[in-house]
Amino acid sequence: MRLTLDFTNMLSRAVGEHGITEEEFDRACKKAEAALVSLRAKRDKIRWRDLPYNQTAIVREIKATAEWVRSSCESFVVLGIGGSALGPIAVQQALNHPRWNELPREKRNGPKFYVEDNVDPERMAALFDVIDPETTIFNVITKSGSTSETMAQLLTVMRTLIDLYGEEHLKDRLIATTDCEKGNLIGIAKQYGLKTFYVPEGVGGRFSELCPVGLLPAAVCGIDIETMLAGAALMDAVCDKDDVGKNPALMYAMLETAAMEKGANVGVLMPYADSLKYFADWYAQLWAESLGKKRGLERVGQTPVKALGVTDQHSQVQLYTDGPFDKTVTFLGVEKYRTEFTIPHAVDENPNVAFLSGHTFNELISAERRATEHAVTASGHMNKTILLPVVSAETIGQLIMFFELATAYAGEILGIDAYDQPGVEEGKNMTYALLGKKGYEGKLGEMNRQTERSLV
């Protein structure tokens, strides 16, 4: 059982003049073939592709730690941001009960789960209103080991735990996930004897969901991480095929980059399942941060937009149909939802409402997806559909690898480095300067020299 990609509606034969013509398709195919070759040449650098295959020992360790966490706490809190947070959120939302934290303990297959991925002071304070440090285990995740947001959260949590239980008990309540050498967290972890997991070399933040960054939080919440990795392995093999017609990630990258050339600067991902809502957030970071780059004097990239079907039909779809031809829409559908829910009979005497009765919510959401797909196509806008047979650990593993590879292929086609993030680093450095970190005084001068404010 694997995901499929239907790209018919990207083509001009389906959507008319704003679609990809046969000639453009053939040209894009050649670029895609070259991208396949150049990505293969980088194989030993893109170590995130090894993750489905080389983690037997680490998975054992993760499962053992997860068992300890599950049996010793009521709440599990991830401290992290960007690639150290979005994957854990997406996978938890996809694979566990949508109201996980509100479920009574006996119906919840693990502790309550929180991911703190911001430094809004109100949110930080609010966390301590809902958790009890006595029954909480924290997992601080930062590949670089130096991100200010995560470090500020870590300091807050450490102070609280040290004041309550003493330094020697930090290791009972705090787990670190970081680089084995670089950054500040590794030193702190060693100093306090924290259980530590490593982000392997060649696995960048936004490509790290399938390493301990994502696997530990998932395992703590009872998710079958081995099956997730098996799904990723299957997709890795499928998306290594030479024939672009049989390689969905390469096809996705090829069509999306061809669409960018035609002015599609916006790429909407619209899952038709609440369980996949945060998957769109994870994808948005992956696509934006990997592909939004300078290429010589040019700028490339595509702005990812996250939408939710059917909710955003009543918010965004007007724009997607009658608005400018500057976007593609990718529908993310589910063939079989995990629950079937029938719309009951209640007002049989009113046929304008009663027609719904006897149908299921499943039928309704699928019909709305197909109807919206039709409306977007009929209005001449390029779109495609990724269909998951079901949302499961296996298909989520597939979807993660699918988008990682699509992003990597798109990076090759665009001729940019998909694995750096100089723009993000610049913001991080400016923050250091503003908060007085030693060595960043020059940056402060740079900022002060910027144009005077124009205020109204």
Interacting residue with ligand PA5 among 150, 330, 377, 392 (CB under 6 A): 150
Q: Supply the minimum distance, in Å, between the C-beta of residue 290 and ligand PA5.
A: 8
Q: Which positions from 194 through 233 interact with ligand PA5, judged by CB under 6 A?
A: 204-206
Q: Supply the minimum distance, in Å, between the C-beta of residue 448 and ligand PA5.
A: 25
Stretch that binds ligand PA5, among 76-84, 106-114, 155-163, 345-353 (CB under 6 A): 76-84
The reply to whether 147 sits near ligand PA5 by the rule CB under 6 A is yes
Question: Among residues 82 and 271, whose Cβ is nearest to ligand PA5?
Answer: 82
Active site residue 30: no
Active site residue 289: yes
Question: Among residues 19 and 204, whose Cβ is nearest to ligand PA5?
Answer: 204
**Residue 113's beta-bridge partner residues?**
76
Cβ–Cβ < 8 Å for 143, 179 = yes
Question: Among residues 144 and 362, whose Cβ is nearest to ligand PA5?
Answer: 144
Interacting residue with ligand PA5 among 10, 35, 79, 81 (CB under 6 A): 81
Q: Supply the minimum distance, in Å, between the C-beta of residue 276 and ligand PA5.
A: 21
For 357-377, give the DSSP string.
Answer: TTSBHHHHHHHHHHHHHHHHH
Interacting residue with ligand PA5 among 12, 21, 144, 379 (CB under 6 A): 144
Consecutive H or E run containing 215: helix 212-220
Closest CA to 11 of 382, 270, 387, 376: 382
Interacting residue with ligand PA5 among 82, 88, 200, 304 (CB under 6 A): 82
> Which residue lies nearest ligand PA5, judged by its C-beta?
205
Q: State the burial class of residue 368 (Cβ atoms within 10 Å of its Cβ: 0-12, 13-18, 19+).
A: middle
Rounded to 5°, angle at Cα 278 from 277 and 280: 75
Question: Among residues 344 and 422, whose Cβ is nearest to ligand PA5?
Answer: 422
Question: Among residues 28 and 157, whose Cβ is nearest to ligand PA5?
Answer: 157
3-state secondary structure of 348: coil
> Using the 8-state DSSP alphabet, how is residue 451 labeled?
P
> Using the 8-state DSSP alphabet, how is residue 345 labeled?
P
What character string, x for contact with ligand PA5 (CB under 6 A) and - otherwise, covers 323-362? ----------------------------------------
Q: Which positions from 271 through 310 interact with ligand PA5, judged by CB under 6 A?
A: 289
Closest CA to 408 of 246, 223, 202: 202
Give the active site residue among 289, 373, 404, 412.
289
Question: Among residues 206 and 381, whose Cβ is nearest to ligand PA5?
Answer: 206
Question: Among residues 367 and 424, whose Cβ is nearest to ligand PA5?
Answer: 424
Q: State the burial class of residue 350 (Cβ atoms within 10 Å of its Cβ: 0-12, 13-18, 19+).
A: exposed
Q: Supply the minimum distance, in Å, between the C-beta of residue 288 and ligand PA5.
A: 10
Strands of 4-6's sheet in order across: 4-6, 383-388, 327-334, 266-271, 303-306
How many residues touch ligand PA5 (CB under 6 A)?
15
The reply to whether 116 sits near ligand PA5 by the rule CB under 6 A is no
3-state secondary structure string, 51-114? Answer: CCCCCHHHHHHHHHHHHHHHHHCCEEEEECCHHHCHHHHHHHHHHCCCCHHHCCHHHCCCCEEE
Interacting residue with ligand PA5 among 9, 93, 142, 328 (CB under 6 A): 142
Q: What is the identity of the amino acid at 133?
A: P
The structure tokens 């018919």 sit at 8
Give the active site residue among 314, 349, 438, 452.
314
Stretch that binds ligand PA5, among 3-11, 117-125, 142-150, 310-318 (CB under 6 A): 142-150
Active site residue 381: no
**Residue 11's beta-bridge partner residues?**
20
Q: Which positions from 394 through 433 interact with ligand PA5, judged by CB under 6 A?
A: 421, 424
> Using the 8-state DSSP alphabet, how is residue 7 labeled?
-
Q: Buried b vs exposed e over 114-139: b needs ≥16 C-beta within 10 Å?
A: bbbbeeeeeeeeebeeebebeebbbb
Consecutive H or E run containing 305: strand 303-306
Q: Supply the minimum distance, in Å, between the C-beta of residue 279 and ligand PA5.
A: 16
* Residues identified as active-site: 289, 314, 428
Binding-site ranges for ligand PA5 (CB under 6 A):
81-84, 142-144, 147, 150, 204-206, 289, 421, 424
